[in-house]
Amino acid sequence: MSDYRAPLRDIRFNLEALAELPEIRKLPRFQEATPDVVDAVLEEAGKLAAEVLAPLNPVGDRTGNRVVDRAVLPPEGFKSAYRAFVDGGWPALPFAPERGGQGLPETVSTAVNEIWQSANMAFALCPMLTEGTVVALEQHASDAIKDRFLEKLISGEWTGTMNLTEPQAGSDLAAVKTRAEPRADHYLLFGQKIFITWGDHNFTDNIIHMVLARLPDAPPGVKGISLFVVPKFLLNPDGTRGKHNDVYPVSVEHKLGIHGSPTCVMSYGDRGGAVGYLIGQPHNGLALMFTMMNHARLAVGIQGLSISERAYQKARAYARERVQGQIAGRDGRVTIIHHADVRRMLMLMKSGIEAMRALCYVASAAADFAQHGPDQATRARHQERFALLTPVVKGWCTELAQELTYLGVQIHGGMGFIEETGAAQHCRDARILTIYEGTTGIQANDLIGRKLLRDNGRAMAELIREMREVAAAAGMSADADIKVISSQLGTGIAALEQAVAWLLDHADRNAAVPGSVAVNMVMLVGTVCGGWLLARAALIARSRLDSADAEFLSAKITTARFYAEHFLSRASSLSRTICAGADSMMALTEAQF
């Protein structure tokens, strides 16, 4: 039996209370997302996750993937799990009904994705990348291309991949060398891509690769990269499957974690050229790919939440079971959940997870309003918020997931270090999250450059204003816990304001300043956002305490206070470090390291 159960009560609380799903439901596009529909979706997702996906998680870790006869053989059981996933209609959840989608809000999709990624992150990467492929094609492809590929990707009959990285071109995509030669109605691609997640498998009849490459007349650098769609199998004019395109997996990497997910070296054009079709304008591929990457960045942030939740559930079960030592005031030996330090670790996990969940869901709600809001001003306001939060969701949630999965192992003591226990897998799997889809440093540069400096801090000031309102409301509460939260939140907001002001003041003085403070700024914004949203959660919980759900709601308040005392308290140190600037960081010569 599975050791993962979807935390539906907290998921629902976050959807309804913090992400304001009732408001989203009022938008014309989402009127069918009734409470009953959403409840049924969450229940069914929880079932598939617990019964099918979660039990395969250790299987994928143990057996990994192999390349046999130029094709990837995934772990036992993954193919039929994917079938069940498609049969349930899950790939279509967030997409437009016009092409077979179910048209549910991004916010609901985020909740469901949280569940998949907790159950089996290696498996869930496959539909996650397909989702990104759909988003990119929906926004940028011609109708002819859409007609050819979109519906089967939305239904999950086919899957999609992202092909960016090459050995010399990682964070720096300007260095991409894969070339595309024009032919009559298509292009021929030649080159090698690395780190291609689910680049090949046996789940589906076809795989649709999104590939960055250079045209012969491309200018150097990032302004010379074009985006192509390259199917594994060519399509006959009638849409049936034709011959194998000239694209093959060469090998799969031997990785620290996510063994269940094949990370492929993909070869394009070894035997005459891989047929591809241009998406959008020539040389504009990077901008288009960013659509896909931004979607994936939110999704990877959610993975940080998910893997932490999975690790938490495992550690909690162990802490409730494992007998060790004694405590004052109790006879005999106790389960370790009674020891203060084990509680400290469980509370760090629980409160960190609830803060991440709040941030991921609230960011998704902003995405829904940004796309489907009633008027241009509303859409623009939410788009600005979504853009501000995206690098924070990706950067902060994935960094926090390192700390929380670490604690998951620590709670297990010596058993945590033994692979069969399973706690270590979550730690190893989590380790990729701060790297792929842009390292934390890359997210941080996005936050600083495009989201803070470009508008001179305007969007951030608006966010801080909202935070202050919550801190003020909490300050007027009669609840002792909420008073503590308000005080810590006030200190945290002040620290954030100080750091932002310092940055705006110093960014021009020294070229190294933005990059040198960027990651600490991501952590600071994420930490304070978590405190803000948990303060909101505590206020809402307090107002409902006389309901049947009092046990859950009072835990919500306590957890918010713990977060304020143990995480939010870090804000002032982060701010102090940011305001120390770049001098000591940049002073050494290369030889002095």
Amino acid at 143: D
Marked catalytic residue, from 437, 466, 497, 590 = 437
Based on its alpha-carbon atoms, the radius of gyration of the chain, rounded to whole angstroms, reads 24
**C-alpha to C-alpha distance for 429 and 230, rounded to whole angstroms:** 29
> CA of 126: how far to CAs of 79, 109, 131, 360, 592, in Å?
11, 15, 9, 20, 44
In 3D space, the residue among 230, 250, 65, 99 whose CA is nearest the CA of residue 161 turns out to be 230
Alpha helices in 322-339 (DSSP H): none
Q: In 10 A of CB 515, how many CB atoms? A: 16
**C-alpha to C-alpha distance for 73 and 68, rounded to whole angstroms:** 7
Q: How many residues does the chain have?
A: 593
The secondary element (H helix, E strand) that includes residue 66 is strand 66-67
DSSP state of 570: G
* Beta strand pairing call for 179-182 and 159-163: unpaired
Q: Residue 217: which residues within 8 A CB-CB, separation 6 or more?
A: none
Q: ∠ at Cα 358 (352, 363), nearest 5°? A: 125
Cα atoms found within 13 Å of the Cα of residue 577, Cβ hemisphere only: 15
CA-CA-CA-CA dihedral for 18, 23, 24, 28, to nearest 10:
180
CA-CA-CA-CA dihedral for 495, 496, 500, 501, to nearest 10:
-40
In 3D space, the residue among 489, 482, 469, 484 whose CA is nearest the CA of residue 553 turns out to be 482
- The angle that helices 513-543 and 340-372 make with each other, rounded to 10 degrees, is 100
456: left (phi over 0), alpha (psi -120 to 50) or beta: left
Is-contact 259 168, C-beta < 8 A? no
Q: Residue 331: which residues within 8 A CB-CB, separation 6 or more?
A: none
In 3D space, the residue among 92, 62, 67, 93 whose CA is nearest the CA of residue 77 turns out to be 62
- Residue for token pair 């999950």: 156
Q: Is position 497 annotated as part of the catalytic site?
A: no
In 3D space, the residue among 304, 318, 326, 305 whose CA is nearest the CA of residue 411 turns out to be 318
Q: Report DSSP letters for 40-86, one per residue.
A: HHHHHHHHHIIIIIHHHHHHHHHH--EE-SSSEE--TTHHHHHHHHH
DSSP state of 219: P
Tokens of 322: 């494992």
What is the maximal distance between C-alpha atoms in the chain? 83
Q: Which residues are marked as active site?
A: 437
